[in-house]
Structure 1
Amino acid sequence: MNARDLVLTGQGVRFDGRLWPCTVGRGGVTADKREGDGATPVGAHDIVGMLYRPDRIAKPAGWAVPIRPGDLWSDDPEHEDYNLMVRAPYHASHEALRRADPLYDLVIVTDWNWPDAQPGAGSAIFLHRWRRPGYPTAGCVALDPVDLREIAARITPETRLIVPESLAGRLPRGA
């Protein structure tokens, strides 16, 4: 671990000398991630991208990429584009990145099962805003939107999301 890593703890994410409240997947933390299990995977996950809605927020970092109408994320393990950003029209299973709600106005993308995705091992582990404190995600790590913007401004592509194996099998309190 390095000082610039985001480290998931039982009470939130430790980063830059602070503890940031967060939520994780409804399935808790797992060492055996599978598509659709709702769990947040154990591991050291590189930050490989940052996406944002330019019609809703200012560019959060110089290396952030705008989410355009028609941007999607493939979550179909049977498709060759599994766990990749794709464009509409796209007829395989996917998730819209440009949502009506603000959940994905800012998305920090990790390298979970990317770029050479193993079918069924789970797609896209993002850091994004939470629906509300304590409300679980589908496997991502979610933060207060103000905290997420502050973290996005401070991280670099060398930052990693560290999910310790010691959290496997449980849903962190306060996280």
Structure 2
Amino acid sequence: MKARLTPAGLVIGGRRMPVQIGRSGLRRDKREGDGATPVGALRIVGLLWRADRLPRPAPWARAIGPRDLWCDASGHPEYNHPVRAPFPASHERMRRADPLYDIVLLTDWNFPDAKPGRGSAIFVHQRRRLGFPTAGCIALRRADLIRVARMLRPGDVIEVPMLASHRGARRRDVTV
């Protein structure tokens, strides 16, 4: 199955769902920390979920444990890969206090053969609130995220084209 980002939202299986993208809009030349959502075909490579908060969204989902992290240290050999605590290099906690990572679709952006500085942790996850951009991920309402997690499988693609209205940081409100 394919999903596609459009000016009207994420379109998948004939449904359109509103999304949030990176605070810096869309970029072809994604770099670590730039706040942009990368343009391209983002292949789904995994699905994580908080088993202590909600039922398994799909049979292939893997539970997020308390020691699960994601390395975002550009010069580290584990850059843009899952790691376990304790981990000395810069990382993101996958088991967050807020609900943003209760369900996480992992993409193949700069993975598994990560190039230093090209960007890490480009996920599809729950949005914070309407109009609040991400650090580069794609974020959906919880109900829509659960629906997408049930529809997509490993190897499916989310197409992110360059949308004229979302180039660079020209718009603060990056809701599409």
TM-score, structure 1 as length reference: 0.94
**Residues 55-94 of structure 1 deviation map (CA, whole Å, 9 limit, x = unaligned):** 0011110110000011000000010000000000001000
Q: Aligned partners of 2:2, 2:162: CA distance in 1, in Å?
A: 16
Q: Tell me which amino acid in the other structure corresponds to 1:42.
A: V
Aligned to 2:42: 45
For residues 76 and 60 of structure 1, the distance between their equivalents in structure 2, rounded to whole angstroms, comes to: 30
Are 1:29 and 1:40, in contact at CA under 8 Å, matched by a contact in 2? Answer: yes
Are 1:169 and 2:162 an aligned pair? no
3-state SS of the aligned residue for 1:158? Answer: coil
Structure 1 residue matching 2:73: 3-state secondary structure: coil
Mapped to 2, the partners of 1:154 and 1:31 lie a distance apart of: 27
C-alpha contact 2:42 2:159 (8 A) present in aligned 1 = yes
For structure 1, the 5+ residue unaligned runs are none
Which of residues 42, 56, 60 is equivalent to 2:53? 56
- Could you list the runs of 5+ residues in structure 2 that have no partner in the other structure? none
Pick from 74, 91, 111 the counterpart of residue 108 of structure 2. 111
State, as a whole percentage, how many aligned pairs show the same letter: 52
Summarize deviations over 1:13-49 as a string: whole Å, max 9, x none.
Answer: 0111011000000010000000000000000111000
Residue in structure 2 matched with residue 100 of structure 1 by the alignment: 97
Q: Distance in 1 between matches of 2:35 and 2:174?
A: 17
Aligned mates of 1:13, 1:133 — CA distance in 2: 15
* CA-atom RMSD in angstroms: 1.3
Equivalent residues, number: 172
Q: Provide the rounded CA distance (Å) in 2 between the counterparts of 1:51 and 1:74.
A: 16
Partners of 2:157 and 2:48 lie apart in 1 by 16
Contact 1:43 1:162 in 2 (8 A): yes
Runs of 4+ in 1 over 2 A off after TM superposition: 165-168, 170-174
| Among candidates 109, 134, 155, match of residue 137 of structure 1 | 134
Answer yes or no: is the 8 Å Cα contact 2:22–2:174 preserved in 1. no
State the partner residue of 1:16.
13
